[in-house]
Amino acid sequence: MVGSAVVRLLRKNGCENLLLRSKAELNLLDTIAVKEFFNVEKPDVVILAAARVGGIQANIDHPAEFLYENLVIQSNIIHQSYLNGVEKFCFLGSSCIYPRECVQPMKEEYLLNGPLEPTNEGYAIAKIAGLKMIEFYKNQYGFNGISLMPCNIYGTNDSFDPKHSHVLSALVKKMVDAEAVGASNVTIWGTGEAKREFMHVDDAAEAILFYLENKIDSSFINVGLGIDIPIKELAEKIVVFAGYQGKLLWDKSKPNGMMRKCMDVSRMKDSGFTPKIMLEDGIKMLIEEYKQKVQQQAGESK
């Protein structure tokens, strides 16, 4: 999702000399393959958007894979970028790096001030390691890298897979599907009280290019809107925009995850970057994209 948004933006800005590889063409878990790629291609700029990602259940079921795969991917890419003289590097982390009981809104200096949220601890530890690797390589070797910690990202090319999707895309799928079949109710995990902050993937892409083009002193920086919303309120907005007429049921036996993850984006604003796409507009865009995806799949199955 993020990688494709960055590619769209780069091409829109006239950048065509892009070194793109699919997972089938370059397995980032393969240290030798990654080394050979860098030795041959010698990229000037690297944006590390690749990662093992997923929602609460995926993180609960596969913490070892989330830790191992992300550690290996980022270690391979960061180290080879340093060895091959990459001029600019951007690493994407996550707001889950902050402690479970973190003071809100979460400032960059709150990193490692307390225990992590258990449901995504493996992923969080990997992202913290990547952030620190960038910081250490920057301090020790002068490596020109920056780590961006975005809030929850959604938008074009989002995953709607029930096992791997995040909350916003999962809710869009639930409501649109329920409306299509006239379901009387929809069940949602948790109590609806947890709050989340959301940023459209096109804004995330804009942030990446902004920080590659503008030098700042910080080794990592929060990126988001600085405004969060309860999941219950989010679900109700999606209900309205999807035209669903049924009832929402909350399965309180399921985990909420971290109760609040609102970013302090003062450092981001001070640097001169501000996201442009508001949540309501982004939700409407995602609903239309999902409907088009469903129609396309229906056409292909005929």
Distance CA 261, CA 273 (A): 20
**Cα(103)–Cα(119) distance, rounded to whole angstroms?**
19
Distance CA 138, CA 273 (A): 23
d(CA 38, CA 150): 27
Tokens of 195: 């709050």
Q: Angle 239-259-59 (CA atoms, 0-180°, nearest 5)? A: 85
Active site positions, annotated:
123
CA distance 122 to 133: 17
Q: How far is CA 240 from CA 147, 166, 193, 228, 284, in A?
A: 36, 20, 19, 19, 10
Handedness of CA 224, 229, 234, 240 (dihedral sign): negative
Burial of 142 (0-12, 13-18, 19+ CB in 10 A): exposed
Nearest to 261 by CA among 199, 201, 197, 198: 197
- If DSSP codes are grouped into helix, strand and coil, which group holds residue 154? strand
Give 188's DSSP letter. Answer: E
